[in-house]
Structure 1
Amino acid sequence: MLSELNFTSTMLNFTTPVPGGGQGGGCPPVGIQLEGLILPPILASDVILGLLGNVVALWIFCFKLKTWNPNNLFLFNLVIADFMVLVSLPLRIDALIRGHWVFGDGMCRINLFLMFSNRSASIALMTVVAIYRYFKVVHPHHRFNRMTKRQAAFVSAFVWLLVISPRVPMLASNHIKGSGDHTQCFFFTSYNETSRTLIVLVDIHRILTVLEFIIPMAMLLFCSIRISSSLSGRQMGNPDKVRKAMRVCVVIVTVFMVCFLPTTVTTIGVWVIRTYRPRDCDSFYTFTQLNIASLGLNFLNSALDPIVYMFSSSMFRKALCSSLPRALRCRKDNGENEASSSGTQLTNQEILKSMNTE
């Protein structure tokens, strides 16, 4: 989505205003590139917070977890997705501060590819975590709950293939615009792009930006509602386990809405105005500025994902708490783990009974 902003900036600063020109050509330049003022501090904060949280998470996954389950494997892949964008954002911050891109065509392609792929991978993997929790709570006897680590690895590989495949063509195109001190790394260039290949890539990107939010959001809401109704309708069950299951869904949906909804809405707004109201410059400027502000939230998910790990995995939470100094350790960790353990044993016994009956 950062490239969507760069597209806007390019159009506003490098196209010649033509009164009555089609596709927004009649709008005069903004005059100030707001992204150079707003985004560097926001993106720098995202990088610092994201690295702190994800380095700790990676350390726990690699050195502190004694056993793995499918849920932890999905969360580990989410850590990898976060690192993809965290290593690419510093280059974008440097370009915003300098006012031009100095890292060459190859790094430009990789930079854009990593940023686009991160958003798709984060959304897909959070959705998988929510679906896994849904089956655990709503359908405890389903064979999906007996997924092995090998099968979870295949699911993770399929998710990566699904989200990366549409982005691979970006690596085959040159996205460097301008020359000298005006060189920029943009995915979008102008309203009237002459390259048919780039037109197709832009259309694919716009469609994916909308679909990869709407479809997972619908699935997340469905899982949350079904988990809530299922737990509310049961007369039995550990209250702590019920609350933890609901917290997982609430945290994932909240992170999802905060990080990805503003960017999706503003992208749709810019797209609609360019297409159907090309001379409405005030609306175009408004949505452009909102899109700029939303970009910081778009990459904030990398800093907030460690919170998802805490709520989604009792094993991760236990490993983290046991690694803290004694004065900072979670006081309720033992009680919660005992309750979670007893609830897990009960679920396993129910599954075994069901298998024997079958």
Structure 2
Amino acid sequence: MSFSPNSSTPRPGGACPSVGVQLEAVVLPPVLILDVALGLLGNVVALWIFCCKLSSWNPNSMFLFSLVVADFMALLSLPLRVHALLWGFWVFGDGMCRINLFLMFSNRSASIALMTVVAVYRYLKVLHPLHRCSRMSRRAAALLSVVVWLLVVSPRVPLLFFNHIKGSGNQTQCFFFTTYGKTSASILILVKMHRALTVLEFVFPFALLLFCCLRISCFLKRRTVGRPEKMRKAVRVCVAIIVVFLLCFLPTTVTTLGLWASRSFRPWDCTLFYTFTQLTIVSFGLNFLNSALDPIIYVFSSSVFRKALLSSLPCRSSAYSSTSTSSSGGPSTTQQELQTISGDGGQPQPGTGSSKQD
């Protein structure tokens, strides 16, 4: 199916013709293939680190592991989408179409929510270290992860109850948001709910991320004592997540708003509707780029993950082992100096020991 100028006017009843595969068939396959390749590489390594290399988990590790699970939801669904784009039609049937759409959109919602949780947790650890949320147990962190999953997946469950196949024969496509009119009222409600979620699930978490980043930055500028490096690390975590938000999720939010505006204010303009629909579909390729970029967030936000990764590298493992042995098997350089100064081999002053890793 393809769009032609003759189909730029609505059909009787105000419905635009079905949108076919055009720009996305050219742009999306290489983008999605790159997303899958990089995402699998980074997330398989991350999964191996979490499952085989971390001896103990803290709340931050649990949030990041949930993010790995969300990434695998996308990585499992994208190969089917690539196949449909390269062959020009969907061959996997109605059931797989429903599951595919559910996994894709749940990945976006879960990734946004979990990255926000990681940033807020870091914010609380730095600015409100005595708050009970910043001192939560692993059990509480696991419960919070489950609650987040339920909140973000529940609105996507209706995708599983409707047929989203468009066309017939060798022209079938698996999209549910590419037509306007000539469909059931339930589908139209589902499309509107999807567009609202796409915008809201970006706007509110992004505002919260900006707040956390600005508060930590302002606090860091005013503070002259304490642990500024820990605060700088928290700022870097927030900035990394904000960059992922802007690169991966902002384009879809903007094009979705364009779709809403075109149907609300210019319902007769099918050309405008086609334009924003094509841009929206193409922008989904950037959505799934987060699966490739998320491992960078793991390294930025978790010193436990970072050290486990470094200890696993062949070129760093021996050096890391010797460093770990010297640091754990005997006093540090600072401790030795303090003992020399004190002259009696006593314990170092409070605040000089190592702190618990985040």
Task: Name the TM tier (shorter chain).
Answer: 0.7 to 0.9
Give the match's secondary structure for 2:129. Answer: coil
- Structure 2 unaligned blocks of 5 or more: 335-350
| 1:111-140 Cα shifts (integer Å, max 9, x gaps) | 000001000000000000011001001111
Structure 1 residue 147, shift from structure 2 partner: 0.5
1:344 maps to a residue whose letter is S
RMSD: 3.2
Distance 1:329 1:293 in 2: 46
Q: Structure 1 CA distance, aligned partners of 2:181 and 2:310?
A: 55
Select which of 164, 175, 192 maps to 1:203: 192
2:238 paired with 1:249? yes
- What residue identity is the alignment partner of 2:149? W
1:298 is matched with 287
Partner residue, 1:181: 170
Corresponding residue of 1:154: 143
* Structure 1: stretches of 5+ with no match in the other structure: 1-8, 349-358
Change (3 A) 1:17 1:249: closer
- Say which is worse superposed, 259-268 or 236-245, in terms of deviation: 236-245
Q: String of CA shifts for 1:9-54, please: whole Å, max 9, x gaps.
A: 88x47995547967574xx999971111110001000000000000
What letter is aligned with 1:269? G
Q: Which residue of 2 aligns with 1:344?
A: 355
Paired position in structure 1 for 2:80: 91
CA drift of 1:283 comes to: 4.6
- The normalised TM-score by structure 1 is 0.84
> Among residues 111, 114, 117, which one is paired with 2:106 in the alignment?
117
Could you tell me which residue of structure 1 aligns to residue 341 of structure 2?
Answer: none
* Aligned position for 1:65: 54
SS in 1 for 2:284: helix
- Is contact 1:193-1:199 (8 Å) kept? no
2:337: which partner in 1? Answer: none
Q: 1:61 to 1:266 in 2, by over 3 A?
A: same
How far 1:183 moved relative to its partner? Answer: 1.8
Pairs within 5 Å for 1:167-316? 167-280=156-269, 283-284=272-273, 286-316=275-305
- How high is the sequence identity, in percent, across the aligned residues? 63
Quickly say closer, same or farther: Cα 1:300–1:23, change in 2 above 3 A.
Answer: farther
Partner of residue 127, structure 1: 116
2:68 to 67, 79, 85: 79
Deviation, structure 1 residue 211: 0.4
Aligned residue number for residue 355 of structure 1:
none
What is the Cα deviation at residue 267 of structure 1?
Answer: 1.2
TM, length-normalised to structure 2: 0.84
Q: Letter of the aligned partner of 2:168 in structure 1?
A: S
Deviations 1:193-232 (A, max 9, x none): 4312111111110110110000100111111111111222
Partner of 1:41: 30
Deviations 1:58-109 (A, max 9, x none): 0000000011000000000000000000010000000001111111111111
* 277 and 137 in structure 1: CA distance in 2 versus 1, 3 angstrom threshold: same
Larger radius of gyration: 2
Higher RCO structure (Cα 8 Å, ≥6 apart): 1
Conservation of the 8 A alpha-carbon contact between 1:123 and 1:212: yes
- How far residue 279 of structure 1 moved from its aligned partner, in angstroms, is 4.4
